[in-house]
Amino acid sequence: MLHTYGDPKREYSFEYFNFYQVLQAMGHEVELFDYMAEIKALGKEGMNKKLLSRVREWQPTVAVFSLYTDQFEPETVNALRAHTKTFCFFHDDTWRVDYSRYWARHFDYFSTPDLRGEEKYREIGLPNAIYFPFGCNEQISRKLDVPKKYDVSFVGGWHPYREWLINRIRKAGANVEVVGYRWPKGEVDQEGMVKLFNESRINLNLSNSASWDVRYLVSSPWAIVNRLRSKKNIEQMKARIFEVNGCGAFQLSYFVEGLAHCYDIDREIGVYADADDLIDKVKFYLAHESLRESMATAAYNRTLQDHTFVKRFQMVFERMGLLNG
């Protein structure tokens, strides 16, 4: 999708900034097939036919997919494999389990952000999973020479649990700058987000998984409704982790399995255990500037060394056998 969730009124999509632009910067010839725009113009059947026709005509080395819901027909994806190698991103397979496993069978290779994902897929007869956590486009997420303006900031979509956490931090005496979809200040573009990361002493990475904290559940009707409806019952690695660190900015994040595989906790990134610990950590890190700066610098160096999307794609293409010879 060119735009976030296929909505032309919103910012360009994560995939556009971090997959399309990165592959272009690596020197590849890349064509973006905006399937949401094509559906609006041609309908679902027309979009699928156009995609198959284009791949037959162009014969690309690889077709990279980032699925949304049910826009593609399995028969179309299967037919593509006679003309190109296919690779699909699964960003949420820790909780969209059935969806990911269904679609994985239709692609030559596919990603999993789950540290143990490759083994899990092998056990069900799908051996072509590639461990691919999110990463950083270092051309976008970068250090800026700007002064610190905010003690604490958060960038991300509104969620009742996130709002509850932020309100608790504010009641504890810390000012928090919040931007994102459905928040009062609304969304910011990529440049605005990167600037805010650089301007903040503490950048929060807050979970949007459902919480069983009783204090949260009784905080509002939205909390209870969301908890009962939400399919997200497990944490997952998010892009924000790498984006903040790519800016050389200090980050305080929820814990998720796989995080310690990417960064050294307490040396490169701060982690909170629960709502009370979050408040304690905010107070602690605000009071220890030199520690924040040393951790931010260490995370920045680690990100450029191990976690850029350039390195991720090089690894994927090697695993797919596209770089041999």
What is the DSSP code string of 86-116? Answer: EEEE-S-TTT-HHHHHHHHTTSSEEEE-STT
Instruction: Using the predicted structure, report yes or no on whether residue 138 has a pLDDT greater than 70.
Output: yes
Of the pLDDT bands very low, low, confident and very high (cuts 50, 70, 90), residue 39 is very high
Give the model confidence (pLDDT) of 68-113 as tens digits.
Answer: 999 999 999 999 999 999 999 999 898 899 999 999 999 999 999 9
Mean pLDDT over 208-220 rounds to 75
One-letter amino acid of 284: F
Contact between residue 138 and residue 246 where contact means Cβ atoms under 8 Å apart: yes
Of the pLDDT bands very low, low, confident and very high (cuts 50, 70, 90), residue 232 is low
pLDDT given at position 107: 98
Mean pLDDT over 248-269 rounds to 96
Element (H, E) at 35: helix 35-58
Q: Which contacts (CB < 8 Å, 24+ apart) does range 112-121 have?
A: 113/236, 113/237, 113/258, 114/236, 114/257, 114/258, 115/257, 115/258, 115/261, 117/93
Other Cβ atoms within 10 Å of 222 Cβ, number = 13
Instruction: Compute the CA torsion angle 198, 200, 203, 208 (nearest 10 deg).
Output: -100
Q: How far apart are CA 129 and CA 262, in angstroms?
A: 19
CB environment 75-96: b (16+ within 10 A), e (fewer): ebbeebeebbbbbbbbbebbeb
**Rounded to 5°, angle at Cα 24 from 19 and 28:** 110
Q: How far apart are CA 188 and CA 58, in angstroms?
A: 36
**Rounded to 5°, angle at Cα 212 from 208 and 214:** 120
The verdict on pTM exceeding 0.85 is yes
Instruction: Using the predicted structure, report yes or no on whether residue 29 has a pLDDT greater than 60.
Output: yes
Q: How far apart are CA 202 and CA 123, in angstroms?
A: 41
For residue 212, give both structure tokens. 């069983």
Of the pLDDT bands very low, low, confident and very high (cuts 50, 70, 90), residue 325 is very low
Q: How far apart are CA 308 and CA 26, in angstroms?
A: 12
Give the model confidence (pLDDT) of 118-128 as tens digits.
Answer: 999 999 999 99
Q: How far apart are CA 69 and CA 61, in angstroms?
A: 25
pLDDT given at position 213: 78
CB proximity list for 74: less than 8 A, separation 6 or greater: 103, 106
Looking up tokens 């990361």 gives 197
Of the pLDDT bands very low, low, confident and very high (cuts 50, 70, 90), residue 230 is low
Nearest CA-CA partner of 210 in 164, 154, 257: 164
Question: Structural domains in the chain?
Answer: 4-135+309-319 (3.40.50), 150-306 (3.40.50.2000)
Pairwise pLDDT comparison (221 vs 79), residue with the higher score:
79
Q: How far apart are CA 64 and CA 54, in angstroms?
A: 14
Looking up tokens 């997200």 gives 232
Instruction: Using the predicted structure, report yes or no on whether residue 228 has a pLDDT greater than 70.
Output: no
Phi, psi of 89 (to 5 degrees): -85, 130
Mean pLDDT (the chain, rounded): 94
Contact between residue 299 and residue 251 where contact means Cβ atoms under 8 Å apart: yes
